[in-house]
Amino acid sequence: MTNDLDARRRRIRTAFQAFVSACTVLLVIVPIAMVELEGALPANMYAYLTGAAAAVVAGATLVTRVMALPAVNAFIDRFVPWLSASSSEGSDA
């Protein structure tokens, strides 16, 4: 039960972080850059940028969910130990 709760919290945290990042880039910075380069931003472009932000959030949440699977953790522990969550802090030196 605790592992499920922790995994859910990790997914929620990742989704929130991706949401904030995607909104910052796609809904603030990109329109400002486009206005500066072209002089005007079509109204439908905001819908496209919002869809792209949603896709980024969904992708980040999916990757977080997959990375929490026991098979993926076992693969990381075996083949990519420097990414392992269970490795000790000073073992790579």
**pLDDT per position as a tens digit, 6-18:** 777 777 878 887 8
Domain that holds residue 74: 2-83
Q: Please report whether residue 91 resides in a domain.
A: no
Residue 75 in this model has a pLDDT that exceeds 80: yes
Q: Please report whether residue 93 resides in a domain.
A: no
Q: Please report whether residue 92 resides in a domain.
A: no
Q: Please report whether residue 89 resides in a domain.
A: no
Q: Please report whether residue 76 resides in a domain.
A: yes
Residue 87 in this model has a pLDDT that exceeds 70: no
Residue 2: C-alpha distances to residues 6, 7, 38, 44, 62 (Å): 6, 9, 52, 44, 20
CA 37 to chain centre: 28
Q: Please report whether residue 88 resides in a domain.
A: no
Q: Please report whether residue 16 resides in a domain.
A: yes
Alpha-carbon distance 53 to 76, whole Å?
29
Residue 93 in this model has a pLDDT that exceeds 80: no
Count of domains in the chain? 1
